[in-house]
Chains A and B, each alone.
Chain A
Amino acid sequence: MDPFLLEALLNGVLLGGVFALPVLGLNLIFGVVDVIWLCYAELVMVGMYAVWFLYTQAGWPLFLAFAICLPLVALLGGLLHVLVVKPLLSAPPINQVLATGGVLFVLQGAATLIFSTDFRSLGVEMPPIELGEVFVSGTKLAAFIAALVGAAVLWAFLKFTYVGTAIRAIARDREVMPLMGVDPRRIYLIASAAGGALAGLAACLLVVQLDVHPFVGLSFGPITFMICVMGGLGNMLGGFLAAFLMGLIVSVGGFYGSTDLSYVVAFLFFILVMFFRPRGLFTR
């Protein structure tokens, strides 16, 4: 096979791993709380700024900055739930979407005010790794592995803990949960914080690959939502698989055309999926 095509395929898989984290986070929150956080990519942006600031401005070691980023964005997710989503739980869905959309603009505005619109770079790059005939970026490979570890930790949490099992149960039947001794409001808060933690991890993995600026969320937010819908909203496994599919489409599309064109191909594919499988590719 053409080594460049092979490289494109490999990069697609690596890209899919990074898409997967915010997709899992959004699906987790949507499945449990039944609310779409329109500002999810902006939570990732806040995490990216946090890492950038701690590492380049405060001079902290990079991994310490990462270690702070995760709980910080988890806290932010919890706050978003308590301050914005919880008061609107019984409101019409459009109000919930508008409210989290409002937070999106607030976060973008705040980032512009504090950090200006300059592109900020960590300036970290790991040496490329040679795999047979192809080279892959060491940074991308490390980010991919970290994303898989994050997804595995989430899976184990949902599969083996009491709270995780209750989270999977509540996604199907809210009303019966109190009979099990489960306080749904507490599960909502836990899922929101966990969704935030996933955004925090995504921030760590993206900030080493992308320059951060107030509108960086636009470069991966829309495709994240698209992947969620393609995999079936709230369907964790479907979203995970769709993330890799989308990563491959973008990467291989970029190989045959240009990067801009590859996103056009990805969106066209999305539109086709919506025509033929409106409830998602992996919905039975």
Chain B
Amino acid sequence: MSGAGTLELSGIHAGYGDFQALFGVGLHVAPGEAVGVVGPNGAGKTTLLRVISGLIRPTAGTLRFGGQDLAALPAHELPGLGIAHVPENRRLFPHLTVEENLKVGAYTPSARRHFQQRRDHVYTLFPRLKQRRHQLAGTMSGGEQQMCAIGRALMSGPRILLLDEPSAGLAPLVVQQVFELVRRIRQEGLTVLIVEQNVAQVLRIVDRAYVLETGRVAAEGSSAALAEDPVIRRSYLGGH
């Protein structure tokens, strides 16, 4: 399973101080795949992404990307390896303009060399951002901020994009737009790992998904299989 850009986690234990959030989580994402992680609030989904991008150190388990051990690296070196993380609540810099937010996203030396080209690409993906390039990020709507946060992550030229609840706090119509954009991004060949509570929506854009419950993988499978699964339907899709 270990390919050039494969993300592999096995037996990951992690938490905050005395509180343990993940109990032996295993997961893999192959290059070009779109994979979802779904589950209820507090299942450890955000913790999982924070472990992958180095913000939290796992207490046990292995974490590899393209065969390289990530656990040994400081978090700020991971964007240079091709891992970009769009954090929960977007975490834009509200007092900087849209373009300045993109500029911070292009901080690594290799990203700086491609700044103009990638910025123009981001503006093609999100024409709204181009219109608002000199506007302060904090003054935009939630959907625009989410696009800006995704654009900021794309500025590092990632091989894999980690998305944490991109639909959170957005109006239903805007949620549709954001998912549509994620679909387009992955059509460009980018690997995507997306954490969502909006299970019905996310299963439509990913190939496979993991169901995380209280820090453990409770189920995994293709989107189609999970969408058909009676337990999943009852718990997450409001089906009968």
> Which chain A residues have a beta carbon within 8 Å of chain B's beta carbons?
162, 165-166, 168-169, 172-173, 175-184
Contact = CB atoms under 8 A, between A and B. Distances in A.
Contacts of A177: 76
B221 to A, nearest CB: 30
Contacts of B76: 177-178, 180-184
A179 B106 contact: no
Given A162-B106, A168-B95, 9 more contacts: A165-B103, A168-B100, A169-B93, A178-B75, A179-B153, A180-B104, A181-B156, A182-B107, A184-B76
B145 interface: no
A165 B104 contact: yes
Given A180-B107, A181-B156, A182-B76, A172 B87 contact: no
B87 A183 contact: no
Interface residues of B, number: 30
B54 A166 contact: no
Contact of B54 (A165, A168, A173, A178): A178
Given A168-B95, A173-B93, A175-B55, A181 B87 contact: no
Interface in B155-184: 156
A165 B75 contact: no
Contacts of B107: 162, 166, 180-182
Given A162-B107, A166-B104, A179 B87 contact: yes
Given A162-B103, A165-B103, A181 B93 contact: no
A179 B55 contact: yes
A128 B208 CA distance: 79
Q: Which 6 A-B pairs have the closest CB atoms?
A: A178-B75, A181-B79, A181-B108, A178-B76, A183-B76, A176-B91
